[in-house]
Amino acid sequence: MPPSRYIRLTEQEDARLREIEQAPYFKPKVRLRAQVLRLSHRGSNVRTISAYTGRSRASVGRDLDRWAERGFEGLLDGTPPGNPPRITEEVRTFMEEKLSEERTWNATQLAEALAGSFGVEVTSEAVRQHLHSMDYSWKCTRYVPNKPPDPEQEREAREELEALKRGRQKERSS
């Protein structure tokens, strides 16, 4: 059986761990780790701490190791595993530049532009969510004529529409 491991704390460390253990705004795991360290300091071995806290001996051992390596920083949870974000600050800057252009962009077009420029494959829904987080809002696009219609063509179209309403079709001269 391996020898018992104990953590020795200063009075200041013990007081700080007690504050953390009793503070409601810390996550329960962080508070439990503080309790494990304080119990170890009081002379409890890993088996006793494990039985008292309901954690496995391996977890208690990891808590002691984390304290030895990183101190108070070891109490906090690490970053969760997973893939790094695809839309980085550089990509966000690119999207802002594209949106400041005179043309209209939709999420699908931006996703295609990101794939072409950065090789980043994201869905249009992911682009939409990032645009929303960047405080962009939008409306559905619609087609608007870029110049006023020709009066002669407008008159002919009205006459044709009236003829269709009456049931007779006028022959168009084009």
Which pLDDT score, from 0 to 100, does residue 52 have? Answer: 93
Average pLDDT over residues 151-162: 92
Picking from 133, 135, 134, 130, the residue whose alpha carbon sits closest to that of residue 107 is 130
Question: What phi and psi, each to the nearest 5 degrees, are found at residue 120?
Answer: -90, 115
pLDDT digits (tens, 9 = 90+) for 31-60: 999 999 999 999 999 999 999 999 999 999
Tell me the pTM.
0.50
